[in-house]
Amino acid sequence: VHKQVILTKDNLAKRNWTGSTRCSFCDQHESIKHIFLDCPLAKIMWRSVHITFNITPPNSINMLFGTWLDGIDTNTAR
């Protein structure tokens, strides 16, 4: 994900794939950022994480794979 090489529909289109570039869940343009952060289904998942573990959802791919869990006390997040 961090290297932006997952074969999302936008990346497939760059490789001459001729299928739809729309997300199967919400019909928006599918990209790595969309799948992990912007899709309504991803937002529900991140909201669930927030409610369950009181962890603020990431707001970027870099944050998700960089600083997202910094400062989380692993003893209380179980």
The residue among 65, 47, 67, 66 whose CA lies nearest residue 57 is 47
> What is the pLDDT at residue 63?
84
Residue 2 lies in a domain: no
Tokens of 55: 């962890």
Assigned domain for 36 exists: yes
Domain that includes residue 42, residue range: 9-64
* Assigned token pair, 6: 């997952």
Q: Considering the domain boundaries, does residue 76 fall inside one? A: no
Nearest to 31 by CA among 47, 9, 59: 9
The residue type found at 24 is S
Give the pLDDT confidence of 22-76 residue by residue, as tens digits.
999 999 999 999 999 999 999 999 999 999 999 888 888 888 877 776 766 656 5
Classify residue 4: in a domain, yes or no: no
